[in-house]
Amino acid sequence: MNKNYITTPIYYVNGEAHIGHAYTTFIADTLARHSRLLGNETYFLTGTDEHGQKIEESAKKQNKPTQEFADEISATFKNLWDEFDISYDQFIRTTDTSHKIGVQAAFEKMVANGDIYKDFYEGNYCVSCETFFPESQLMDGGCCPDCGRVTTIIKEESYFFRLSKYEKPLMEYYEAHKDFILPKSRRNEVMSFVRSGLHDLSVTRTSFSWGISVPESLNDPKHVMYVWLDALMNYVTALGYGMDEVKMDFWPANVQLVGKDILRFHAIYWPAFLMSLGLPLPKHIGAHGWWTRDGEKMSKSKGNVVDPREVAKHYGAENFRYFMMREVPFGQDGDFSQRALIDRMNSDLSNDLGNLLNRIIGMSEKYSDFAIDSVNVAQYHQKELHDADTILATLEGYFDELQIHRYLEELWKIFTIGNKAIEEHAPWVKVKEGRLNEALATVALVANLLAKASIMLHSVMPKTTATIADALGFEITTASYKALITDKGLLAPFVIKKIPPLFPRVEEPLMQEAPKAMIEEEPKKEVALKTEDKKVSTVPSEGLITIDQFFQTALKIGTVLEAQEVPKSSKLLKLQVDLGEEVPRQIIAGIREYYSAESLIGTQVCVVANLKPAKLMGMLSEGMLLAAKDSEGLSLIRPEKPRFSGSSIG
RNA sequence: GGCUGGGUAGCUCAGCUGGUUAGAGCGCUGGUCUCAUAAGCCGGAGGUCGGGGGUUCGAGUCCCCCCCCCGCCA
């Protein structure tokens, strides 16, 4: 029996669970259930990450003891997973005592083998953002790239992990294990990052205390472990690392799921830590994509965040889960919309699957008083059985590469076989001709197809498939998996249960609240319709902005004081533009192909004055020129008559 | 700016080492059965395969140039 360990990341308790957390957890749960069905000894871990400065601060804001704050948020995650019937075997918290002991043990081992040393962490620190920034990210004059304020150089004592030492071993590992990082497209990113050179990693802080302190043996109590070392270790401390180690035989993990944003930590730091500890690396790190809503990024400020609870409440938790697993290739971003969800449910679940079940319930009721017997199936439906078993045999391979959407796509062909068989053999005709055995064989064929398919669908829709199995007189277990899938067997005679349609068609969106963007769109469409027919508005009704939104952009007239070519660039000019402010703005503009530096000096231009400063070719650009570009060339937008520098446009 | 990946039907995507009329699902549309959840089944329309050169008997598939999109890095 294989040991199979599957993990989600531990979720940071700085906010409530959202669709992204749900997605990761659904995938992991699907993998875990699938593994168990195959008969593997399976351990599924999820949990919460609770240390760090941000948690400390959030708790302070709410006037709560930090632990109490962490307890509360952690519980919201656990509750959500329980609501969704997530089959985790353990819910780890980084504040668990056993985790702390394990992390300290790991730290000691790293110290012992020379991978951790004490030095000074020196960096440009933005007091306002409370963040260190590497030299390369700073703006001109050492300003913070986020807020633009001047940063200060701070020197802080810190322990470092010798990440640089693992550059080569990591590259060798990636080379030798092509499917270590999934999807494969992400592998390139990781490798190019490592190839560009790894710096040693600062793994402790003295600036906050909400974390696991370094081992007592170091006698350095002011040092607290930095979040990633602490957090990543959860995957082995959950198995008892550094303690009793009772479950360490589950290591290495089979699949460790992560969002694409934290891939680097899991594909570089984590393997390096493991190498340092002398532990084998996980077989796969799977990085999934993000979800957008109606094509837009979700954010609290837009008010278009998808609440997994809400969707589940209106559409059903497993339908939602099916949608997420089926809709998006692993690794790609997906888009959630009620339309897409409804289409998927109606087409796949209602029409293909649900209706098929209903068809044989109806026929068996009329032809045999619900009795179904596989006895003649092989005789009349050799071809269908063969086709179905062939498809079923190929499915496993998709799971190996986390291609759950392809898995489901293939699985659905079983239902097409069933629907076609009914059509082709028209049991109602056979019955009229007195060939009852043949008619019943077709019904029994479809019952078997549904049974086999529901076994394979079980990991995605556990409860729904259990209901189907119940109607078909069997249970989905490792034993029935072996009998019906592996051994290609058929159902024993049974009496089918008449159940109401499993997936009623959804005709209209069931969730009332529309995202703000949609609400605002409605009236505009009406206006466009009311316009007289002869003058049909040519303004597109979508993507309109309000006057307030327009004025969020500060457009100003500027006078070019200086202009010079940027060395090594064929496109860029460096300009000093007077916007009526104390100091002229430096603007880097990509117009060298169309304007010479001399020709610009003294002329006026239109400038976006409140653009976030950006660095181009290492130079700060504090604004953008307006210009019109087409296939013929580019032309700057200028005031028709001279205006004072800094005049606003609008 | 550097490096990946990609640009194929209305939408989402498949097309391995170049080879008959470029595929699937959804959507649209015509027909048809009646066991079934206005479901099923059969058929159809719809693509100058991002643009331009080139190699070849033959290129979506190889080479060069250009444009655009996503991602990672800077």
**Helix A404-411 and helix A382-400, axial crossing angle in degrees, nearest 10:** 180
Look at the block and give the residue holding tokens 């290492």: A618
A255 beta partners: A6, A284
Q: How many other C-beta atoms can be found within 10 angstroms of the C-beta atom of residue A269?
A: 21
Q: How many residues does chain A have?
A: 650
Can you give the three-state secondary structure of A312-374, one letter per residue? HHHHCHHHHHHHHHHHCCCCCCEEECHHHHHHHHHHHHHHHHHHHHHHHHHHHHHHHCCEECH
Q: Give the residue among A232, A269, A227 at the shortest CA–CA distance from A253.
A: A232
Q: Would the Cβ of A188 be found within 7 angstroms of any atom in strand B? A: yes
In A412-546, beta strands by DSSP E: 494-495
Q: Is A132 helix (H, G, I), strand (E, B) or coil?
A: strand
Q: Would the Cβ of A343 be found within 7 angstroms of any atom in strand B? A: yes
Q: How many other C-beta atoms can be found within 10 angstroms of the C-beta atom of residue A289?
A: 17
Q: Is A292 helix (H, G, I), strand (E, B) or coil?
A: strand
Q: From CA A622, how far away is CA A610, in angstroms rounded?
A: 8
> Within this chain, do residues A10 and A98 fall inside the same structural domain, yes or no?
yes
The answer to whether position A242 is within a domain reads yes
> Within this chain, do residues A426 and A392 fall inside the same structural domain, yes or no?
yes
Residues 363-422 of A with CB under 7 A from strand B: 363, 366, 416, 419-420, 422
CA of A342 to C1' of B15 (A): 29
> Within this chain, do residues A473 and A578 fall inside the same structural domain, yes or no?
no
Residue A433 burial by CB count (10 A; 0-12/13-18/19+): exposed, middle or buried?
A: exposed
The answer to whether position A380 is within a domain reads yes
Look at the block and give the residue holding tokens 């013929």: A632
Question: Which of A191-200, A218-227, A479-488 tops mean pLDDT?
Answer: A479-488
> Within this chain, do residues A362 and A259 fall inside the same structural domain, yes or no?
no
The answer to whether position A570 is within a domain reads yes
CA of A566 to C1' of B44 (A): 60
Q: Give the residue among A288, A267, A325, A346 at the shortest CA–CA distance from A33.
A: A325
State both tokens at A244.
Answer: 């009793």
Cα dihedral across residues A260, A266, A269, A271: positive or negative? negative
Indicate the residue among A471, A495, A519 that finishes a domain: A495
Q: Would the Cβ of A423 be found within 7 angstroms of any atom in strand B? A: yes
Q: Give the residue among A318, A236, A261, A231 at the shortest CA–CA distance from A22.
A: A318
Q: How many other C-beta atoms can be found within 10 angstroms of the C-beta atom of residue A522?
A: 10
Q: Would the Cβ of A290 be found within 7 angstroms of any atom in strand B? A: no
pLDDT (tens digit per residue) in A1-54: 689 999 999 999 988 889 999 999 999 999 999 999 999 999 999 999 999 888
Q: Give the pLDDT score at A525.
A: 28
> Within this chain, do residues A113 and A221 fall inside the same structural domain, yes or no?
yes
CA of A488 to C1' of B27 (A): 36
Indicate the residue among A246, A280, A309 that finishes a domain: A309
Q: How many CA atoms lie within 13 A of A605 on its CB side?
A: 31
A76 φψ region: left (φ > 0), alpha (ψ -120 to 50), beta (else):
alpha
Peptide bond into A183 cis (omega under 30): yes
pLDDT grade for A520, boundaries at 50, 70 and 90? very low
The answer to whether position A559 is within a domain reads yes
> Within this chain, do residues A63 and A170 fall inside the same structural domain, yes or no?
yes
Q: What are phi and psi of A454, to 5 degrees?
A: -70, -30
The answer to whether position A500 is within a domain reads no
CA of A629 to C1' of B67 (A): 14
Q: Give the pLDDT score at A102.
A: 97
Nucleotides of B under 7 A from a protein CB: 1-5, 13-14, 25-27, 33-42, 71-74
A363 nearest nucleotide via C1' and CA: B35
> Within this chain, do residues A217 and A359 fall inside the same structural domain, yes or no?
no
Residue A426 burial by CB count (10 A; 0-12/13-18/19+): exposed, middle or buried?
A: middle
Lowest mean pLDDT among A149-163, A379-393, A494-508: A149-163
State both tokens at A82.
Answer: 């329980």
> Within this chain, do residues A559 and A487 fall inside the same structural domain, yes or no?
no
CA of A374 to C1' of B24 (A): 32
The answer to whether position A613 is within a domain reads yes
Q: What are phi and psi of A126, to 5 degrees?
A: -95, 115
State both tokens at A580.
Answer: 């009526």
pLDDT grade for A408, boundaries at 50, 70 and 90? very high
Lowest mean pLDDT among A63-72, A103-112, A234-243, A610-619: A610-619
The answer to whether position A151 is within a domain reads no
> Within this chain, do residues A177 and A73 fall inside the same structural domain, yes or no?
yes
pLDDT (mean) for A266-271: 96
What is the extent of the structural domain holding A459? 329-495
Q: Tell me, what CATH number does A572's domain have?
A: 2.40.50.140
**Residue A487 in this model has a pLDDT that exceeds 70:** yes
Q: From CA A606, how far away is CA A612, in angstroms rounded?
A: 16
> Within this chain, do residues A175 and A49 fall inside the same structural domain, yes or no?
yes
Residues 6+ apart with CB under 8 A from A370: A361, A364, A495, A496, A497, A498
Q: Give the pLDDT score at A145.
A: 62
Give the predicted TM-score (pTM) of the model.
0.79
> Within this chain, do residues A104 and A215 fall inside the same structural domain, yes or no?
yes
> Within this chain, do residues A227 and A356 fall inside the same structural domain, yes or no?
no
Q: From CA A597, how far away is CA A135, in angstroms rounded?
A: 31
Q: Tell me, what CATH number does A353's domain have?
A: 1.10.730.10
pLDDT (tens digit per residue) in A65-108: 999 999 999 999 999 999 999 999 999 999 999 999 999 999 99
Q: Give the pLDDT score at A296.
A: 80
A354 nearest nucleotide via C1' and CA: B37
Indicate the residue among A495, A517, A539 that finishes a domain: A495
User: What share of chain A has pLDDT > 70, as a percent?
Assistant: 86
Contact A555, A606 (CB under 8 A): yes
Contact A392, A481 (CB under 8 A): no
Total tally of structural domains belonging to chain A: 3
CA of A322 to C1' of B36 (A): 23
The answer to whether position A520 is within a domain reads no
Lowest mean pLDDT among A29-43, A259-273, A558-572: A558-572
Q: How many other C-beta atoms can be found within 10 angstroms of the C-beta atom of residue A153?
A: 10
A500 nearest nucleotide via C1' and CA: B37
Q: Would the Cβ of A592 be found within 7 angstroms of any atom in strand B? A: no
Residues 6+ apart with CB under 8 A from A553: A608, A610
Q: From CA A556, how far away is CA A639, in angstroms rounded?
A: 10
CA of A129 to C1' of B63 (A): 50
pLDDT (tens digit per residue) in A416-444: 999 999 999 999 999 999 999 999 999 99
Q: How many CA atoms lie within 13 A of A186 on its CB side?
A: 24
